[in-house]
Amino acid sequence: MNLVSDDLIAINFQFLMLARECARHNPMEANWKFNLNNTEIDNLSSMTLEEIKSLSECGRAIFRTPVVTKKHTRITPSIAAALMPIPSTENLGSVV
C-alpha cells in the first residue's frame, strides 16, 4: 500500500469509531455532526470493531464533507438547545 491509502484507512477508522460512539450515545448529535440519517445511525451504532476495521479499508473516503459556501449557516435555538449536553447529577455537587 502507499502512504495515501494508509492515511485514508486511518482517517476512515477514526471517523467511524467517533461516529459510532456518537450514534450510540446521542443519535441526534450524530445526525447533526456527521450528517447521518436514521438508518445510517442504526447501522453504525450496531457495528463491531471488526466490521468498522473492514469498512475503513474499502479504499475510498467514507466520510462526507459539507458543501463549502461563503454564507454562514446558523442553527436555530431549538436545535442548539437539543444538542447541549445534559449535566450528570454527579457533577452538580451538593447545595447547602
DSSP H helices, the chain, are 3-25, 27-34, 38-45, 49-56, 77-83
Q: Work out the pLDDT band at 76, boundaries 50, 70, 90.
A: confident
Cα 5 to Cα 14: distance, rounded to the nearest angstrom: 14
Query: Each residue of 3-19: pLDDT tens digit?
Result: 889 999 999 999 999 99
Work out the percent of the chain whose per-residue pLDDT is above 70. 80
Report CA-CA distances (Å) from 49 to 33, 58, 59, 88: 21, 15, 18, 28
CA–CA dist 65, 41 (Å, integer) = 17
pLDDT of residue 64: 72
Q: Which residue has the higher pLDDT, 33 or 84?
A: 33
Cell 474499502 -> residue: 58
**pTM for the predicted model, two decimal places:** 0.67
**The pLDDT value given to residue 82:** 77
Q: Would you say 86 and 39 are in contact if contact means Cβ atoms under 8 Å apart? A: no
Q: Domains along the chain?
A: 1-62 (1.10.4000.10)
